[in-house]
Structure 1
Amino acid sequence: MSPKKYLYWYAALVIVLSGLLATFNMLVDHYLLFGSERISGFNEKKPTSINRTKLYKSYEVMRVTPNSLIVGNSRPEMGLAPQSSCWKSEHGTVYSLTFPGLSAYEQIRALFHGVSSSNVSHILLGVDFYDVLYRRRNNDNPFAWPHKSSEFLDRLLVDENLKENDRFWRTQLSDSFMALFSLNAVIDSLYTIALQSPNSPDRTRLGFNPARDYQEVIQHEGAWVLFNQKLSELKSHFSKTGMSIYTPPYRWSIELEALKRTIKLVQKHNIHLIIFINPYHYSYLESIREAGYWDGIQA
């Protein structure tokens, strides 16, 4: 075989194999980037998506085009089901644009994105003390609304001032290429198929975390194991000294500024906004009081 013919067949083989792998990854849709049909026993559960909400939710909310948004951290992600019968007909399609571990600033940036990408009429915004009470640095210009950059923020249609984000389309192309052609994508597709059990970790097409993966722990060790683990984490967090809900020495914070800008946005677009404080077990609030921060929150 001549070198030219060899290279031809080699290139053809690479193209065919790449196409097959990309098709396979798209069908499995392990990262929820493509909206492929969920097939029971094949790709219905999405266990590899649970740690990648920052990767896919900004794209999924554009695909779903909801009328109502739930915004916040992991608490409303597990606690408020978009498909609940409690929602009224006026709420239309509800999407849970919620992200475990995101800062309050990033949550509001996600809200900006959701409003910019869909015809949103209602927003349910969860506020968590954990996200607003932390150690803060003195800032020479504390009242400035910051420009920040990250992989997650590059996936949003608009920037911090609601202007078009010129990095969005490039980032979306890069994410899609990774999900179709990377070795990790193939591994995660196989992992997704292998973990199609009733209690596998999952996210629904509306962004909800059904939290079925906790069922085995609860069944064998009891719910108190999870409760005590979380309580220990909270006590460790709130036991730190020098935390505040304001940027010292001012009565201002980036989180309050984010809420202020959110209120202006919903007034402009005639969106019904409900801001709620996540419901807590008394021990959560007791941890804050024992750490000496309760008076500051009440003020």
Structure 2
Amino acid sequence: SYDVFNTPNLWGINHSKPRKDNNDRLFKATDIIRIKPVTVLLGSSRTKRALDPNHPALKHQQAYNLSIDNPNVYELRRYLEHVIANQEELGLVILGLDFFTFNSFQENRVNFYENRLEKQRISAKDFINVTFSLDALLASKETIVDSRKTPPDYIGYGENGFMPELNIDPEKTQQRFNRLISYYVKHRYARYQLSGQFLDELKKIVDLSQKNQIKLVLFISPSHATHWEAMKRKDKWSTFEEWKRKVVQISDVFDFSGYNSITTEAIHHNMENYTENSHYTPKVGNLILNRLLSYKEEEVPEDFGILINPENIESHLVKIRQDREIWAKNHPDEVKLVKEIKQKYDASLN
């Protein structure tokens, strides 16, 4: 039900595991012990849903998507240490950076347990929970019920940690955008303080990688233009820029954010690049990996994925501000959408 013990996936009985996605901190920790990957893709649900370890540039190595839902940078550092403890040959880490993971209010998730990390076997607590708990029993029942109605091409879903969003209803694209923009306005960007501690955690990740001779490649996620607009409406833009300035003091980073050929896709039913304003599709994930791994870069739009460093950061930030003005002029309906969601929320507070 959680896919912790790597039991065979039998179609119609247990191939679909609806709770697996919500228990990524558990099953991915045990996967690392079992699989011992030499390449790891790390980050939030954005990376988890879009970066495929089976990308052609990674096909000759054991790659695993270790991204977890809604993390902070401390959690990501601990999961990296877990890989290092289990695979001394770890050679490449691709880390997706998200502004929200550096929020000082972003606490460890309740299902984050230190005692399952840097171990060579599943912890006793996890073993008992997975095997004997009522929750496990209910999860097993869900697995069997769900497997009877889920098509067989989902067999093996998530076995390399990659968990793209399935069964996306194109008719509900606008609703998904509305809901997620509203969520970011009400919650994610309602309270934000750039965390010095989490910036230090990023520095620790960089240092860990150097110490263990791991090639570390950092990138900033390409959420949709309306996502950045919501951030701007919540007066977080200057903090967002400051975050990038701090990041490049720690390491060079590929920036896929802002307003470019990919992120400015108009909102419509059959979007190629986005499921909603926050999460991009595996198609975009492939373009990111192409850029980061210098693979078929001619397929990647020129404006998508700019390597930034202390030398070019200021001109880069200026260009994004200019690009925003162009986008706003060309997409007044989307600007209006975000503005109205924000106004509606503000009115509800009074």
Could you state the TM-score of these two structures normalised by the residue count of structure 1?
Answer: 0.71
RMSD: 2.7
Listed as ranges, the gaps of 5+ residues in structure 1 are: 1-29, 137-147, 159-167, 247-252
Q: Does 1:195 align with 2:156?
A: no
| Residue of structure 2 in register with 1:207 after alignment | 161
Q: Does 1:228 align with 2:193?
A: no
Q: Does 1:68 align with 2:39?
A: yes
Judge conservation of contact 1:58–1:156 (CA < 8 Å) in 2. Answer: yes
Q: Does 1:269 align with 2:192?
A: no
| Residue of structure 2 in register with 1:245 after alignment | 194
Judge conservation of contact 1:77–1:207 (CA < 8 Å) in 2. Answer: yes
Judge conservation of contact 2:97–2:219 (CA < 8 Å) in 1. Answer: yes
Q: Does 1:256 align with 2:199?
A: yes
Moved over 6 A (4+): 199-202
Mapping of residues 25-36 of structure 1, within 5 Å: 30-36=1-7
1:93-117 CA distance string (max 9 Å, x none) = 1111111122221121111111221
Shift of 1:200: 7.4
Q: How many residues align?
A: 237
C-alpha distance 297-151 of structure 1, shift in aligned 2 (>3 A): closer
Equivalent-residue separation in structure 1 for 2:193 and 2:134 (angstroms): 44
C-alpha distance 255-210 of structure 1, shift in aligned 2 (>3 A): same
| Residue of structure 1 in register with 2:333 after alignment | none
Judge conservation of contact 1:106–1:153 (CA < 8 Å) in 2. Answer: no
| One of 117, 130, 134 as aligned partner of 1:179 | 130
Equivalent-residue separation in structure 2 for 1:87 and 1:227 (angstroms): 32
Shift of 1:150: 7.5
Q: In structure 2, what residue type is equivalent to 1:244?
A: Q
For residue 216 of structure 2, give the secondary structure of its aligned residue in structure 1: strand
Equivalent-residue separation in structure 2 for 1:88 and 1:180 (angstroms): 34
Equivalent-residue separation in structure 2 for 1:292 and 1:192 (angstroms): 44
Q: In structure 2, what residue type is equivalent to 1:113?
A: H
Judge conservation of contact 1:202–1:211 (CA < 8 Å) in 2. Answer: no
Identity %: 26
1:24-80 CA distance string (max 9 Å, x none) = xxxxxx111111111222222211212111222111111011111111110000011
Listed as ranges, the gaps of 5+ residues in structure 2 are: 243-350
C-alpha distance 40-200 of structure 1, shift in aligned 2 (>3 A): closer
Q: In structure 1, what residue type is equivalent to 2:98?
A: D
Could you state the TM-score of these two structures normalised by the residue count of structure 2?
Answer: 0.61
